[in-house]
Amino acid sequence: MQIRCKLTLEYGDEKTARIVYDSVRIDDEEFVDTRLDKNRIVATITARSTGSLLHTLNDYLACVSVAEKVVDND
């Protein structure tokens, strides 16, 4: 079984979205597909179980949170 989650993060401007995108894209593996769409980051996460999906989503959002804090401190 494959479970997918599509997450859309919208930012106030394209520059902020690009910085966060560039920061989290590095960690993408085969189960995370991240793309940039103007001021939005769209991530599709694929997993084999609900638990695995939640774990991956938690890790991804933690990376996003760190990137956002760096942008805010700039």
Q: Where are the domains of the chain?
A: 3-73
Superfamily of domain 3-73: Alpha-D-phosphohexomutase, C-terminal domain (3.30.310.50)
pLDDT in tens, 10-61: 999 999 999 999 999 987 778 899 999 999 999 999 999 999 999 999 999 9
pTM: 0.88
b vs e for 15-51, b when ≥16 Cβ sit within 10 Å of the residue's Cβ? ebbebbbebbbeeeeebbebeeeeeebebebebeeee
